[in-house]
């Protein structure tokens, strides 16, 4: 990415949208401290919307810059790291004492590590996927949980063990090597399947019917999709490769008789390299 001196100015539009995302994160923190968790949760979703929008606009207008990348990361740390941590703690984690604020800090620290790793690898990772759970999706789970509980139990503060477990699940997922789809290759200008349009309309309809309940399950499906796809790829990789452990001398005699074709057999250990060296010496 070409560096641009700040003396030449910055691109206004995408950075202005990033500022709106930062404002929503700050707005969420203020409402969490005041005990208004409903608006605090929705403010995090608004921050996610602006975070999605600023990246799209920067790519469409080709106005990406190093300043924008760093500013966006600081905004994400506030809106998707600090704001959800404070929201969780002020809502229910304070009931668990030291374990509660340590859980909130774990979530915040993992968010910072996830964003720092993303900045370092921004030019080397595959564009079609994220390495580790994206911070907006993780924050979406936290906000969705608060909305779900308030829809079911009202505004009463409760001692939620599920909320206590969330930082210990989402934190490691954010700093893991599990790949999640980024959908950056999805172009609205290209022709898409008719059934994809039907799926999008159905999804919007379902969320609109229960806006306080469905976001938690929508983001939950995305969180689960990463480990599920990794497991499926692991099964396919293991099923497409046959691994055999056998006596090297027996394999060599079978190869001379034409009964064993070694290119289709993968050996375990250092015996494979020894056989290759002896076969090479015999060909001479």
pLDDT in tens, 200-240: 788 788 888 888 888 899 899 999 999 998 898 888 887 66
The CA distance from 47 to 18, in Å, is: 9
| 258 within domain boundaries | yes
φ, ψ for residue 13, nearest 5 deg: -60, -55
Q: Please report whether residue 1 resides in a domain.
A: no
Asked whether residue 261 falls in the same domain as residue 133, the answer is: no
CATH at residue 213: 1.20.120.1760
What pLDDT score does 130 carry? 85
Residue 171's pLDDT is: 95
pLDDT at 280: 47
Please indicate, yes or no, whether residues 220 and 260 belong to a single structural domain of this protein. Answer: no
pTM of the model: 0.75
- Structurally, the chain folds into a number of domains equal to 2
Q: Would you state the pLDDT for residue 254?
A: 56
Q: Which residues of the chain have pLDDT under 50?
A: 1, 6-8, 242-244, 260, 262-270, 272, 275-276, 278, 280-284
Q: Supply the pLDDT for residue 191.
A: 63
Please check whether residue 85 is in contact with residue 105, taking contact to mean a CB–CB distance below 8 angstroms: yes
Domain shared by 232 and 100, yes or no: yes
2 in a structural domain: no
Write down the pLDDT at residue 127. Answer: 67
CA distance 89 to 97: 10
Residue 33 domain-assigned? yes
Cα–Cα distance, 108 to 102 (Å, whole number): 10
Q: Which residue range forms the structural domain that includes residue 46?
A: 9-196+205-238
**pLDDT at 269 (0 to 100):** 47
27 and 142 share one domain = yes
The count of residues in the chain is: 284
**pLDDT number for residue 111:** 96
107 and 212 part of one domain: yes
| Residue 225 forms part of a structural domain | yes
């Amino acid at each position: 990415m070409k560096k641009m001196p700040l003396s030449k100015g910055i691109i206004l539009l995408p950075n202005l949208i990033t500022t709106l995302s930062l404002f929503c994160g700050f707005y969420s923190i203020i409402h969490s401290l005041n005990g208004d968790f409903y608006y605090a949760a929705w403010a995090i979703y608004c921050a996610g919307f602006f975070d999605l929008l600023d990246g799209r606009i920067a790519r469409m207008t080709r106005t990406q810059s190093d300043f924008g990348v760093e500013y966006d990361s600081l905004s994400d740390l506030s809106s998707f790291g600090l704001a959800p941590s404070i929201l969780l703690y002020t809502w229910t984690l304070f009931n668990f004492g030291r374990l509660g604020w340590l859980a909130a800090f774990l979530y915040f620290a993992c968010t910072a590590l996830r964003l720092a790793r993303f900045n370092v690898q921004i030019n080397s990772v595959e564009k079609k996927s994220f390495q580790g759970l994206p911070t907006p999706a993780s924050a979406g789970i936290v906000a969705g949980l608060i909305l779900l509980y308030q829809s079911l139990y009202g505004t009463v503060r409760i001692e939620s063990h599920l909320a206590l477990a969330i930082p210990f699940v989402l934190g490691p997922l954010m700093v893991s090597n599990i790949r999640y789809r980024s959908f950056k290759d999805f172009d609205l200008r290209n022709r898409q399947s008719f059934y994809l349009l039907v799926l999008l309309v159905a999804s919007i309809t379902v969320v609109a019917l229960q806006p306080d309940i469905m976001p938690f399950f929508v983001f939950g499906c995305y969180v689960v999709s990463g480990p599920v796809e990794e497991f499926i790829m692991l099964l396919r990789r293991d099923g497409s490769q046959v691994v055999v452990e056998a006596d090297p001398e027996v394999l060599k005699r079978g190869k001379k008789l034409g009964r064993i074709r070694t290119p289709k057999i993968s050996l375990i250990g250092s015996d494979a390299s020894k056989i290759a060296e002896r076969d090479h010496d015999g060909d001479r």
